[in-house]
Amino acid sequence: MSQPSHKKRIGAEAIEAKGWLGAHKWLIMRRLSQLSILALFMIGPLAGIWIVKGNLNYSYTLNVLPLTDPYVALQSLMAGHVPEKLGLIGVAIAVAFYFLVGGRVYCSWVCPINMVTDAAGWLRDRLGIKGASSLSAKTRYWILGMTLVASAVTGVVLWELINPVSMLHRGLIFGLGSAWMVVLTIFLFDLFVMTRGWCGRLCPVGAFYGLLGKWSPVRISASKRSACNDCMDCFEVCPEPQVIRPALKGEGKGVGPVILAANCTNCGRCIDVCSKDVFNFGLRSNNPVPTASIGVQPGAK
Amino acid sequence: MTATPPKNSAARRQFLFDSAKMVCGVGMLGLGLGLYAKQSKALPALALRPPGALPESDFLGACIRCGLCVRDCPYNTLELAKPEAPVATGTPYFTARNIPCEMCDDIPCVKACPTKALDHGLTDINKAKMGVAVLIDHETCLNFLGLRCDVCYRVCPVIDKAITLDMVPNQRTGRHAMFLPTVHSEHCTGCGKCEKSCVLEEAAIRVLPPKLAKGELGKHYRLGWEEQKKAGHSLIDESKMIDLPDRLPEGARLPGHYDPASGQTEAMRGMSGQEVVTIPSLPPGLGGKP
């Protein structure tokens, strides 16, 4: 296997400019978020300290805070069943939260499969694996629609029969069984078969959360896009690279700097790997549309 | 102007082609999943659902696989199905022979359920129907062998209602009694304590889904003695009843019973000779006097 030694590693410029920590700030925070959520769930069964009971489908924190996965609840609803009061409150809280911070925040800050597919993506980059088959990023919406229709037809919460996200998360808390094989399959699929295949093209959970946060106010903005030196690191590192272009390159087309695409996961890796600090977290409303072709100078925030 | 229509039509064709591809691919996935869903509704007989669980076809649509019932069960009875288990992945179940349900008065598993998968209307655990115990093997049950094991009867939380010991003569010895554990399904909750504590290598008594364990009378069937009790009197005119002959062993006599062959009919029953003749006796050659 040819080592891509000639190729510059993603984020090398950013590490030079900001130091390793500065170039991995959001990644570290994201891993901390993912791992501490997992730890909160696991500390109960492992150490008998019951802060959170349940799993990502429904959890009950400190016997006060219910959280329900709205996608699972929706499938159950399609199958003709309405949750009890706590379950409904849980749906409301989760929907409100992800509506505010961005639906796919679930994917990049909570979902345990994200670490698996990120690892596959990282290894893919290190090994220089290329030329894999591809599938439209819209496939997930078709699968999402299918799971809802088929839940209604079969009367079963359909995606939960095979959902690798809940299999892994539930498995880590309640006993893995053969769920590790499903997780390994996802890893190998992303590594050898399809770049960002699972999270970026197939997973209906991500598709659902993407739609849920379509109008979310918390967004990443390429507010200093005029400083972009076209190093392409953000495109390389982004799990949904198609979301960046309109915002980053839209200055001449009268498009504002905020990334509005629903599939941006607010993971913040673009902020990390940019040596010019083009990106930052901001609000959807703070989206000055450039006038004419010159455009306004991006205001320092 | 001539350039736009072909371009549009090419785009339309591409769109239709892409959509068809998606519908086919995702449709196949859906078909596979749908068949799998159908399979998953077939709960294995020895996997029992928690108290108050909806019928299996509804349960799989209502349960969101959160495991709260598992967590709030104080006896670790329940577990969530792992992917390789023959139970729908992530749904709660228990195996009576491993850890049976202890039938908590406050039913914490039902209270913990955030959905209606476990019926919150169930507040009396004695009304739970997790299954029905069946003394399935009459050949190895120690009580059927004439011993006084009685363990399933003793451990039953609904003792003397759900399981009774019914005394019958032991025909093998001819002089002893057998006390047969007898399940009464209207009281049995399916907790599985009997199955758990059966002393045999393989339990002779097992909790099965009611569908497997129970027969069902025809809808039009009436039990005469119950109808009589309900109405306070017999529903038919008893004076018009015809008593069919009792068949006794040759030579035996049972006072008060009609036996045309014994020669004591009229006097005993006060029947007219005419009537007696109209009642069919044993077919020729079968019993009776030679």
**Token digits for A222?**
């390429």
Domain closes at, from A212, A235, A252: A212
Are B114 and A82 an interchain contact pair (Cβ–Cβ within 8 Å)?
no
Domain B131-209, classified CATH 3.30.70.20, yes or no: yes
Residue A287 vs residue B23, higher pLDDT: B23
Give the pLDDT band of residue A21 (cuts 50, 70, 90). Answer: confident
Residue B226 vs residue A247, higher pLDDT: B226
A219 - beta bridge partners? A282
Is any Cβ of chain B less than 8 angstroms from the Cβ of A154?
yes
CATH 3.30.70.20 positions along chain B are 131-209
Angle formed at CA B210 by CA B209 and CA B215, multiple of 5 degrees: 135
B59 to chain A nearest CA, in Å?
Answer: 8
Q: Is residue A7 part of a domain?
A: no
Q: Write out the H or E segment, with its range, that includes residue A143.
A: helix A139-154
**Do A157 and A243 share a domain, yes or no?**
no
Handedness of CA B87, B92, B95, B98 (dihedral sign): positive
Q: In chain B, whose CA is at the least distance from the CA of A90?
A: B114
**Do A124 and A265 share a domain, yes or no?**
no
Q: Write out the H or E segment, with its range, that includes residue B21.
A: helix B4-40
Angle at which helices A164-174 and A179-188 pack, to 10 degrees? Answer: 140
**Do A244 and A188 share a domain, yes or no?**
no
Residues 6+ apart with CB under 8 A from B278: none
Q: Is the pLDDT of residue A75 over 90?
A: yes
Q: Write out the H or E segment, with its range, that includes residue A92.
A: helix A85-101
Identify all chain A residues contacting B25, using CB atoms and an 8 Å cutoff.
139, 142
**What is each CA distance from B81 to B87, B97, B112, in whole angstroms?**
6, 16, 18
Identify all chain B residues contacting A171, using CB atoms and an 8 Å cutoff.
82
Q: In chain B, whose CA is at the least distance from the CA of A72?
A: B64
Provide the mean pLDDT of chain A: 86
**Do A266 and A160 share a domain, yes or no?**
no
**Do A124 and A153 share a domain, yes or no?**
yes
CATH number at residue A273: 3.30.70.20
Interface probe for A, chosen from B23, B69, B70, B115 (most Cβ of A below 10 Å), is B115
Residue A256 vs residue B227, higher pLDDT: B227
Q: Is residue A265 part of a domain?
A: yes
Q: Is residue A108 part of a domain?
A: yes
Q: What percent of chain A has pLDDT over 90?
A: 39
Look up the CATH number of domain B33-128.
3.30.70
Q: Is residue A42 part of a domain?
A: no
Handedness of CA A186, A189, A191, A194 (dihedral sign): negative
Interface probe for A, chosen from B24, B58, B60 (most Cβ of A below 10 Å), is B60
What's the pLDDT tens digit per position in A154-210?
A: 899 999 999 999 999 999 998 888 889 999 999 998 888 888 889 988 999 999 999
**Do A92 and A193 share a domain, yes or no?**
yes
Going residue by residue through chain B (290 aa), what tens digit of pLDDT does each one get? 444 556 688 888 888 888 888 888 888 898 998 888 888 888 888 899 999 999 888 999 999 999 999 999 999 999 999 888 888 889 999 999 999 999 999 999 999 999 999 999 999 999 999 999 999 999 999 999 999 999 999 999 999 999 999 999 998 888 899 999 999 999 999 999 999 999 999 999 999 988 888 889 999 998 888 888 998 888 788 778 777 766 777 777 666 666 555 554 444 444 444 444 444 454 555 544 44
A278 to chain B nearest CA, in Å?
Answer: 36
**Do A277 and A164 share a domain, yes or no?**
no
Residue A76, pLDDT score? 93
What's the pLDDT tens digit per position in A105-145?
A: 999 999 999 999 999 988 988 888 876 678 888 889 999 99
Most confidently predicted of A59-73, A224-238, B242-256: A59-73
- Calpha distance B286→B290 (Å, rounded): 9
Buried b (16+ CB within 10 A) or exposed e, B259-281: bbebebbeeeeeeeeeeeeeeeb
Q: Is the pLDDT of residue A16 over 90?
A: no
Are A87 and B115 an interchain contact pair (Cβ–Cβ within 8 Å)?
yes
Strands in B98-202 per DSSP E: 132-135, 163-170, 176-183
**Do A126 and A262 share a domain, yes or no?**
no
Are A139 and B26 an interchain contact pair (Cβ–Cβ within 8 Å)?
yes
Q: Is residue A39 part of a domain?
A: no
Say if residues B69 and A165 touch (Cβ distance below 8 Å).
no
A242 to chain B nearest CA, in Å?
Answer: 19
Domain closes at, from A166, A189, A212: A212
Q: What is the mean pLDDT of residues A69-95?
A: 92
DSSP state letter for A91: H
Q: In chain B, whose CA is at the least distance from the CA of A80?
A: B61
Are A84 and B115 an interchain contact pair (Cβ–Cβ within 8 Å)?
yes
B133 to chain A nearest CA, in Å?
Answer: 28
B127 to chain A nearest CA, in Å?
Answer: 21
In chain B, which residues touch A (CB < 8 A)?
18, 22-23, 25-27, 29-30, 33-34, 36-38, 40-41, 57-58, 60-68, 70-72, 79-80, 82-85, 88-90, 112-117, 120
Are B60 and A66 an interchain contact pair (Cβ–Cβ within 8 Å)?
no
**Do A184 and A136 share a domain, yes or no?**
yes
Is any Cβ of chain B less than 8 angstroms from the Cβ of A157?
yes
**What is each CA distance from B17 to A84, A201, A240, in whole angstroms?**
43, 18, 24
Most confidently predicted of A97-101, A224-228, A286-290, B273-277: A97-101
Give the pLDDT band of residue A277 (cuts 50, 70, 90). Answer: confident
**Do A164 and A255 share a domain, yes or no?**
no
Q: Is residue A252 part of a domain?
A: yes
Residue B6, pLDDT score? 63
Q: Which residue has the tokens 């967004």?
A: A219
A42 to chain B nearest CA, in Å?
Answer: 12
Residue A212 vs residue B267, higher pLDDT: A212
**Do A90 and A149 share a domain, yes or no?**
yes
Write out the residue range of the structural domain in which residue A235 sits. 218-283
Q: How many domains does chain A have?
A: 2
Say if residues A87 and B117 touch (Cβ distance below 8 Å).
no
* Residue B11 burial (CB count, 10 A): 10
Q: Is the pLDDT of residue A234 over 50?
A: yes
Residue B40, pLDDT score? 83
Q: Write out the H or E segment, with its range, that includes residue B212.
A: helix B210-213
**What is each CA distance from A276 to A249, A257, A268, A295, B118, in whole angstroms?**
15, 15, 14, 19, 56
**What is each CA distance from A83 to A69, A78, A220, A271, B117, in whole angstroms?**
11, 12, 34, 40, 8
**Do A130 and A241 share a domain, yes or no?**
no
